[in-house]
Amino acid sequence: MQSFEINKEDLERIKTALEGDDAELEKVLQEYHASEIAILFERLPVESRERIINILPADEASEVIAEMHEEQEPGELLISLDPEKRSEIIEELDYDDATDIISQLDEEDQQEILEDIDQEDASNIRALLSYPEDTAGGIMNSEVIKVNINQNKKDALEDIIRQSEEMEEFYTIYVVDNDNMLKGILSVKSILKAPAYARVAELVNRDFVYVKAELDQEDVAGLISQYNLTTIPVVDDHMKLLGRITVDDIMDVMEQESTEDILKISGVSEDEELSGNWKDAVKSRLPWLVINLATAYLAASIIRHFDATVALLPQIAAYMTIIAGMGGNAATQALAVTVRRISLSDLTDRQAYNTVIKEFLVGLIDGAANGLIVFAIALMYDADPMLGLVLFLAMTGNLVIAGLTGSSIPLILKRVGIDPAVASSIIITTFTDCAGFLLPLYLATKLLLHHH
């Protein structure tokens, strides 16, 4: 979607065309795809957007509006158009897209839009508006192609052809009984290949994956990728067919969810959108940084405690920062893997235990490998095998701690009901920083200073 980059020439062309008359503007607009116009909208003032939407034919205009990002308020753009043009555009939109856009407006504007459009369209959109936006019901499209299980091939095909005129594309035909209960699915291929006298009941595939309307959108995405589906039907508690979710709706969901998770891992809360202003950014990040500062003092106080050791062994100070930094990196790796696993599925106790054991072993092996390198460097530079041993043990120890905390803390937080993606990284760096200073200093005090 984002492969089209806004370059200066395109923007200038559109701006120049906007200064000219409508005919000129229309000619320039024809060279751009709807999604490209939507991206160009990011740089154009509201009145220019209105003018462009008014010039474009309704089907093209509806595509542009469907491709606009939420932050650009496509709903506000719709409200500003004259009712006739607006209704034409909404009737061209898929129900799920129309619902997404209308749901961003306040009640009054929603009513105004819905009263102007075709009644059947309005009632479909109203039904979709009643579902929370991050559930299967909120992202589904209620336009489906369905045939009755009691029909024969000829009638079913006629039905499919009639219904498909309204729809852009379809992959699956749903089979329902007289009460609109979903009985199974039918592939286009199977009905085309079937003999003329075949009945739908013989062709239907009764083994299919479906979701309930209230299922969370992330779980829907999980099912679609698990079963490699192009579409999935949505039903109510009585198996009544409500709509379908197509893989393109799910792409948007996955983009949303992964943005959310990536922001959270860095301690940025989801209230802060990527396009948010600096005040929101400060508000959501500052508290975490202050907590971080407190934990940094904790780590620093450990160094204070071992002043004498640092005075006698100044070279240990340089190595300490390496060990603490390595621990922090290793912990972040373990954390990223674990948070990813939690977000894909809730782990059972057994899986959680195995995750922690695995990260413990990884920490041990990675720690020993890096420890050996540090040991070798200590021999070369400081010609002190005991210092090398201290550093080897400290490095191994800190990476083991990194693996254990990186994997267990998100699991514990999840149990307690705190979002593991936000809080984990701060708790974990505290552990690896403190251990990164404590281990080499404590071991040096015991092994080196008593030795010397």
307, burial (CB in 10 Å: exposed 0-12, middle 13-18, buried 19+): exposed
d(CA 193, CA 58): 37
Query: DSSP letter string over 407-423?
Result: HHHHHHHHHHTS-HHHH
Nearest to 368, CA basis, from 326, 321, 317: 326
Instruction: Answer yes or no: are the C-beta atoms of 243 and 140 closer than 8 Å.
Output: yes
pTM: predicted TM-score of the whole model, two decimal places: 0.54
Which CATH code is given to the segment(s) 8-130? 1.25.60.10
SS3 184: strand
Cα-Cα-Cα-Cα torsion 38, 44, 50, 55, nearest 10 degrees, comes to -70
d(CA 142, CA 236): 13
User: Which pLDDT score, from 0 to 100, does residue 2 have?
Assistant: 47
340, burial (CB in 10 Å: exposed 0-12, middle 13-18, buried 19+): middle
Instruction: Answer yes or no: are the C-beta atoms of 225 and 296 closer than 8 Å.
Output: no
| CATH number, domain 146-246, options 3.10.580.10, 3.30.450.270, 3.40.50.300, 3.50.30.10 | 3.10.580.10
Which CATH code is given to the segment(s) 278-449? 1.10.357.20
Low-confidence ranges of the chain (pLDDT < 50): 1-2
Q: How many helices (H) and strands (E) does the chain have?
A: 22, 6
The per-residue pLDDT for range 283-312, each reduced to its tens digit, is: 777 887 888 888 888 888 988 888 888 888
d(CA 220, CA 227): 11
d(CA 278, CA 56): 36
The per-residue pLDDT for range 109-155, each reduced to its tens digit, is: 888 888 888 888 888 888 888 888 888 888 888 788 888 988 888 88
d(CA 147, CA 169): 16
Instruction: Answer yes or no: are the C-beta atoms of 90 and 117 closer than 8 Å.
Output: yes
66, burial (CB in 10 Å: exposed 0-12, middle 13-18, buried 19+): buried
Contacts of residue 216, defined as CB under 8 A and 6 or more positions apart, other chains included, come to 134, 135, 136
Query: DSSP letter string over 40-100?
Result: HHTTS-HHHHHHHHHHS-HHHHHHHHHHS-GGG-HHHHHHHS-HHHHHHHHHHS-HHHHHH
Nearest to 424, CA basis, from 412, 434, 435: 412
User: Which pLDDT score, from 0 to 100, does residue 6 have?
Assistant: 65
d(CA 439, CA 244): 57
The ranges assigned to domains in the chain are 8-130, 146-246, 278-449
